[in-house]
A = this chain, B = another copy of it.
Amino acid sequence: MTINIKNFLNDKSKLSKMGEFQNLKQIEGLEMASISADLYSDGRDDVALFYFSKGANYASLYTTNSITSEFIPWNNNSHKKVIKGLLVNTKNANTFTGKQGKDSIDTLAKNLSRILTIKESKSKKGTTETVKIKDLIFASTGVIGEEFPVEKIKERLPDLVEKLRGEQNKMYWLKIASAIMTTDTKPKVAYEEIIVGDELIRICGIAKGSGMIAPNLATMLSFIFTNADINSNLLKTLLKRSVANSFNAISVDSDQSTNDMVTIFSTRTLKIGENLSLNDKVIQKFELALKKLCLNLAKQIVVDGEGAKKFLTISVINAKSLGSAKKIAFSIANSPLVKTAVAGEDPNWGRIIMGIGKSGEVVDPKKLKVKIGEMVVAENGKISDSYNEEKLKEYMQWDSVEFEINLKLGNDAFKCFTCDFTHDYIDINADYRN
């Protein structure tokens, strides 16, 4: 997205400025590497490995698409509370690949566990521990239905493990974040830290998406790492709460990948307390930081949406329920008519009204108040008396625009984020596989 951030300040949250990446730091207990398995035939890194020398607690959320990558049931069947590694490949989704896809996972898991066991026996002399196949989880993104390139990836596993590195600086994080990209135009990284006494809790996150659905349905992947020792159950709760208003509040084109996956890992290297719960201050701070980090990554995905030229925030307030607010917000966000009007910088608020009604939610048109930016465009069941088309047109030229729908029916609210629909979206997606 070649966005000219004329006024990204208009968007009140702290989206990291484009071109300026945050300074991600090292997470003790994490080793990372990426490599080219020649999946793209152009030398770029297309496989990444995350290895936890002392194991990691983790929690994962997956796509709700009823057809999924073969990797997703594998991960779900792991039942391990502590794992040793995550392998990510791009280019091929391993979805609708049948037996060949399933067998490929066995092959990869067996080979990788063997190689990692050798690595461990070398570094921890005298250990008898082995890395089991169920200590490994997988993520992938790419084309659906094509044979999974298991041999190409398998061949590169020894070198990939060889390259694992426990020291991570900003540039190394960007390298790894780039290795999981598909049609993304830039890597997506985010960082938060929390001071607890003399210690520093670190949270590093990377993501890919390019439109929630770009490549062959732009899978959204995000992997988050922290040194704070938090158990897997609590991680799951924290992740769910953070995803609700970030990754689950974005939409590029309403389509949903078969491979979407967000996972948080704790390397358990920093002890922050025993029997922690949501009521503990340190966890509350952690939750705030995690929410901020997830929202940051989610917004980067929208900004990098396929062909996107504008960032659009849709805020529904005073709804009778959260579900209702959400339904209305997404009904507007997913309307091609709204998104093309935004691309055309047309303050066509009639389409917002249509989007509200189309949601199927009961609203009271007489109570409804619609704002574009700070300007009221409709209230009392009709166009606002202060409606000023000239000013609105000027506002619509901004790179980031906001619609606020005040339903005046209750106390619930939901905010979602999307981008406009442009010629480039058609170009990218009409020619995707060529």
Residues in A lying within 8 Å of B, measured CB to CB = 64-68, 93, 95-101, 143-147, 213, 216-217, 253-258, 334-337, 340-341, 343-344, 346, 348-351, 353-363, 365, 378, 380-383, 421-423, 425-426, 429-434
Contacts and interface: CB of A to CB of B under 8 A. Distances in A.
A406 B360 CA distance: 30
Q: Considering the complex of A and B, which 6 residue pairs feature the smallest CB-CB distances, nearest first?
A: A344-B430, A144-B350, A98-B382, A67-B357, A340-B429, A65-B357
11 contacts: A64-B360, A66-B362, A96-B382, A217-B350, A255-B351, A258-B357, A343-B430, A344-B430, A346-B430, A348-B432, A422-B426
Contacts of A351: 144, 216-217, 255
A65 B383 contact: no
Contact of A353 (B95, B336, B383, B425): B95
A407 to B, nearest CB: 11
A28 to B, nearest CB: 39
A360 B340 CA distance: 27
A310 to B, nearest CB: 11
A67 B366 CA distance: 11
A429 B337 contact: yes
A66 B216 contact: no
Contact of A96 (B340, B353, B426): B353
Contact of A335 (B67, B255, B343): B255
A429 B341 contact: yes
A378 to B, nearest CB: 6
Given A340-B425, A341-B429, A362-B66, A216 B255 contact: no
A145, A257, A355, A360: residue with the most chain B Cβ atoms closer than 10 Å: A145
A383 B426 contact: no
Contacts of A147: 383
A24 to B, nearest CB: 32
Given A96-B378, A383-B96, A426-B340, A216 B350 contact: yes
A360 B432 contact: no
A258 B98 contact: no
B65 A354 contact: yes
A151 to B, nearest CB: 18
A216 B349 CA distance: 10
